[in-house]
A = this chain, B = another copy of it.
């Protein structure tokens, strides 16, 4: 515990390369560019504290965003993980996506000024918060900020291309393999271990997301394990033969090899 050292998203000193389990450093955070614009070289010294919320703890199962609420801020995952979901007519939820450290949440609310989806923590987590109502404080640096925002949005558009590949896959085996690979890639993208990791979500959540039955997901994991492609112990996964998984998933072209 440092005394008064800032724990904000951006000004973290680059030196401390020690990584605490699953916490992203600011350099690999989706808000990084925007934090820079907001904080570094800002006319007002502590401008960043006005706009970017410090690392806030979020308890497991706590909602960071509730669908239907007015849009006001976007969030970057600092540690932990989240799921977004829509609530269907019959009351149960359809999981739309998962979020991992470094990724941005709440972007979908911008255009209509209302959050269309809810966001809930899968485990004890923490986030940085970017308050849109205080953006006018940026003044002339707004243009820079907008550019960063455009970058973030287009990165996200690119990521979303994955989804149809995930879901459109013909059978459960391919879908499950693709799911694990996409997870691995997303971890790697933010410099987190990509071959040994903990699944933050329940089997139920995975099944919901993939449009499969819980039992099927279980069976697929067992099948992969019996093929020596991976090792599963509860929520802990180790990918042993990632190339074989790629072959099963049947994709290559997207996101390179």
**Contact residues of A with B, CB < 8 Å?**
67, 86-90, 94-97, 107-112, 116-117, 142-143, 146-147, 149-151, 153-158, 160-161, 163-170, 208-211, 246-247, 250-254
Q: Which residues of chain B come closer than 8 Å to A150, judged between CB atoms?
A: 110, 146, 149-150, 153
Q: Which residues of chain B come closer than 8 Å to A251, judged between CB atoms?
A: 86, 88-89, 94
8 Å CB contact of A96 from B96, B164, B210, B211: B164
Q: Which residues of chain B come closer than 8 Å to A117, judged between CB atoms?
A: 161
- A254-B86 in contact given A107-B157, A111-B155, A116-B161 (Cβ < 8 Å): yes
Copies in the complex: 2
- A208-B168 in contact given A88-B251, A160-B163, A254-B116 (Cβ < 8 Å): yes
How far is it, in angstroms, between the C-alpha of A34 and the C-alpha of B112 when the chains are bound? 18
Q: Which residues of chain B come closer than 8 Å to A154, judged between CB atoms?
A: 107-111, 153
8 Å CB contact of A108 from B67, B86, B161, B252: B161
How far is it, in angstroms, between the C-alpha of A246 and the C-alpha of B89 when the chains are bound? 9
8 Å CB contact of A158 from B116, B252, B254: B116
